[in-house]
């Protein structure tokens, strides 16, 4: 069984306590993971706080920080095949997807490496005589970055890269479910040459690791990705240190298909949007709003495509669809489908684990047709390969149904009428709108949601500003003595 270690204060360490990680394709343990306790977290945060003020890090120029990020990107790109195999083994995400994703993640470190020395303060034309003033941006401090198991290398990059570019130090907590890729990534960080304590990477469970980290008095910034319920705990914990907090949470993303859409192209996007990563994505296009005029042919095409998806071992390049990450997730999906069927939904295809893959946490690509917007499958997040379909009658009906959710992360619009697309995109309550495409990402664009989908944005140049504080500097330019404050003139 493979052994993984924590990376704390520039050293790899065995933990006193460990837990087993399960291969989702076989339901068998394959690795032993370190389980961080309160003492481990405290050491990591204190090391980050010390490094924040250590000349080895604090006195680096912004250009030098950028060079470290460029080196990290190069090393990540070289290690992509090995990290992809770890991610596939630990999460069940298919190897053809992990290999392509990790190579692109390096671009996030290059992007913020290039931005590191572009962070400017500003001179202020102050309204006082014999006085000048300017503002400078300084690192906010120690950052607690917490990511879930899905797309963890990407979700850590959008936190780690801007934080390091801004001069912060980071304690990164991997999920206790499938943490192998991030614990493996620690060796890339170490090889890149960051000073000790600048980045620590550990994993553990909520109460003795996550709670201690997010409530630690030396943590100044929390960047969290996960579910709304855990986010509520994070927010409560942050009351102890008043850390600035951003939250990237779940989604129930609508995809609106108008009758003039190119159906072949739309079906490809829909399949990618809901069945990629077996639907385990916060931006999964899980709610299809289809105009009644095209509902029947669209459903027929989707059913045919869903049934043709090649299910198999995630390690095979021929596989298009792998297992879910955990048994708990599969049970949640099955329960939500059952409740939705009881609510009146119609099962178009799927709806159960495939008989040919009984050993792993597999679940068939599934499509449900609904006639009630309040159906559980349209209101609750599956985080799995289930597409819920709801017909609409006109543009206003589509907008109303798209916004009928407490979430607001991503959305899609498919139409040849760009005037209509612009109108609808302006009225959808979501942080991301894709028009005639889906699941596009770039380090140049911000990402985040409305409502229960979170607070704040990741990506783009603005994200680096969120890892800084503004300091106001006042300079008196006169050589005359300051007048006696108690003498009235």
- Helices (H) then strands (E): counts for the chain: 15, 21
Residue range of the domain that includes 387: 254-435
Residue 483 lies in a domain: no
Instruction: Identify the CATH number of the domain in which residue 355 sits.
Output: 3.40.309.10
Residue 484 lies in a domain: no
If asked whether residues 280 and 227 sit together in one domain, one would say: no
* Distance from chain centroid for Cα 281: 9
The reported pLDDT for the residue numbered 489 is: 65
If asked whether residues 30 and 137 sit together in one domain, one would say: yes
User: Which CA distances in Å does 283 have to 156, 159, 276?
Assistant: 16, 18, 11
Q: CA angle 326-327-331, nearest 5°?
A: 125
If asked whether residues 159 and 217 sit together in one domain, one would say: yes
Residues 489, 482: Cα–Cα separation, whole Å? 13
Residues 233, 230: Cα–Cα separation, whole Å? 5
Catalytic residues: 248
For residue 160, give both structure tokens. Answer: 């780690």
The helix or strand, by DSSP H or E, that contains position 257, with its residue range, turns out to be: strand 254-257
If asked whether residues 67 and 192 sit together in one domain, one would say: yes
Q: State the DSSP code for 46.
A: H
If asked whether residues 239 and 279 sit together in one domain, one would say: no
If asked whether residues 67 and 189 sit together in one domain, one would say: yes
If asked whether residues 201 and 56 sit together in one domain, one would say: yes
If asked whether residues 203 and 276 sit together in one domain, one would say: no
Residue 481 lies in a domain: no
The β-bridge relationship of strands 366-369 and 122-124 is unpaired
The reported pLDDT for the residue numbered 236 is: 97
Number of domains composing the chain: 2
The reported pLDDT for the residue numbered 358 is: 86
Residue 443 lies in a domain: no
For residue 328, give both structure tokens. Answer: 């708990």
Q: Along the 489 residues of the chain, how does pLDDT read in single tens digits?
A: 899 999 999 999 999 999 999 999 999 999 999 999 999 999 999 999 999 999 999 999 999 999 999 999 999 999 999 999 999 999 999 999 999 899 899 999 999 999 999 998 999 999 999 999 999 999 999 999 999 999 999 999 999 999 999 999 999 999 999 999 999 999 999 999 999 999 999 999 988 999 999 999 999 999 999 999 999 999 999 999 999 999 999 999 999 999 999 999 999 999 999 999 999 999 999 999 999 999 999 999 999 999 999 999 999 999 999 999 999 999 999 999 999 999 999 999 999 999 999 889 999 999 999 989 999 999 999 999 999 999 999 999 999 999 999 999 999 999 999 999 999 999 999 999 999 999 999 999 999 999 999 999 999 999 999 999 999 999 999 999 998 989 876
Residue 180 lies in a domain: yes
CB 386 within 8 Å of CB 375: no
If asked whether residues 196 and 292 sit together in one domain, one would say: no
For residue 415, the SS3 value is: coil
For residue 118, give both structure tokens. Answer: 């572009």
Residues 164, 18: Cα–Cα separation, whole Å? 29
22 beta partners: 29
If asked whether residues 339 and 226 sit together in one domain, one would say: no
Residue 109 lies in a domain: yes
Residues 40, 205: Cα–Cα separation, whole Å? 12
If asked whether residues 110 and 208 sit together in one domain, one would say: yes
Q: What is the DSSP string of 184-212?
A: HHHHHHHHHTPPTTSEEEEE--IIIIIHH
User: Which CA distances in Å does 185 have to 175, 200, 334?
Assistant: 14, 11, 34
The reported pLDDT for the residue numbered 103 is: 86
Length of the chain: 489
Residue 482 lies in a domain: no
| C-alpha Rg value of the chain to the nearest Å | 25
For residue 167, give both structure tokens. Answer: 């001069």
Output the CA torsion sign for 352, 356, 361, 362. negative
The pTM of the full predicted model, rounded to 2 decimals, is 0.95
For residue 101, give both structure tokens. Answer: 């994703």
Residue 84 lies in a domain: yes
If asked whether residues 195 and 299 sit together in one domain, one would say: no
Instruction: Identify the CATH number of the domain in which residue 193 sits.
Output: 3.40.605.10
Q: CA angle 372-378-383, nearest 5°?
A: 160
């Amino acid at each position: 069984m493979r052994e993984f270690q924590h990376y704390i204060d520039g050293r790899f360490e065995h933990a006193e306590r460990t837990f087993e990680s399960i291969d989702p394709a076989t339901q068998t343990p394959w690795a032993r993971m370190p389980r961080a306790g309160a003492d481990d977290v405290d050491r990591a945060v204190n090391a980050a706080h010390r490094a924040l003020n250590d000349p080895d890090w604090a006195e680096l120029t912004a250009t030098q920080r950028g060079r470290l990020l460029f080196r990290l990107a190069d090393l990540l790109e070289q290690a992509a095949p090995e990290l992809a195999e770890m991610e596939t083994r630990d999460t069940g995400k298919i190897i053809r997807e992990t290999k392509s994703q990790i190579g692109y993640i390096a671009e996030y470190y290059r992007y913020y490496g290039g931005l590191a020395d572009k962070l400017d303060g500003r001179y202020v034309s102050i309204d006082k005589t014999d006085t000048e003033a300017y503002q400078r941006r300084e690192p906010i401090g120690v950052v607690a970055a917490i990511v879930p198991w899905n797309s963890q290398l990407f979700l850590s990059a959008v936190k780690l890269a801007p934080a390091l570019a801004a001069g912060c130090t980071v304690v990164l907590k991997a999920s206790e479910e499938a943490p192998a890729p991030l614990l493996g990534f620690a060796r890339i960080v170490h090889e890149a040459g960051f000073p000790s304590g600048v980045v620590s990477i550990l994993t553990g469970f909520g109460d003795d690791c996550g709670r201690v980290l997010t409530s630690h008095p030396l943590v100044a910034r929390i960047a969290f990705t996960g579910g709304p319920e855990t986010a509520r705990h994070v927010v409560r914990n942050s009351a102890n240190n008043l850390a600035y907090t951003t939250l990237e949470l779940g989604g129930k993303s609508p995809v609106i298909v108008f009758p003039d859409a190119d159906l072949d192209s739309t079906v490809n996007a829909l399949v990618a949007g809901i069945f990629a990563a077996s639907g385990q994505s916060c931006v999964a296009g899980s709610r299809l709003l289809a105009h009644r005029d095209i509902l029947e042919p669209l459903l027929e095409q989707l059913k045919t495509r869903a049934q043709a998806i090649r299910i198999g071992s995630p390690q095979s390049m021929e596989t298009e669809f792998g297992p879910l990450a955990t048994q708990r997730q599969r049970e949640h999906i099955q329960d939500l489908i059952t409740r939705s069927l009881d609510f009146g939904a119609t099962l178009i295809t799927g709806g159960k684990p495939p008989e040919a893959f009984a050993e792993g946490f597999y679940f068939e690509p599934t499509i449900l047709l609904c006639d009630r917007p309040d159906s559980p499958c349209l209101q609750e997040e599956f985080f799995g390969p289930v597409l819920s379909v709801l017909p609409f009658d006109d543009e206003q009906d589509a907008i109303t149904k798209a916004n009928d959710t407490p979430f607001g992360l991503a959305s899609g619009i498919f139409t040849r009428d760009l005037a209509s697309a612009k109108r609808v995109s302006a009225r959808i309550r979501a942080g991301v709108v894709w028009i005639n495409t889906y699941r596009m990402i770039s380090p140049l664009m911000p990402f985040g949601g409305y409502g229960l989908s979170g607070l704040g944005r990741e990506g783009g140049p603005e994200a680096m500003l969120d890892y800084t504080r503004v300091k106001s500097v006042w300079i008196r330019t006169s050589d005359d003595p300051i007048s006696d404050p108690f003498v009235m003139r």
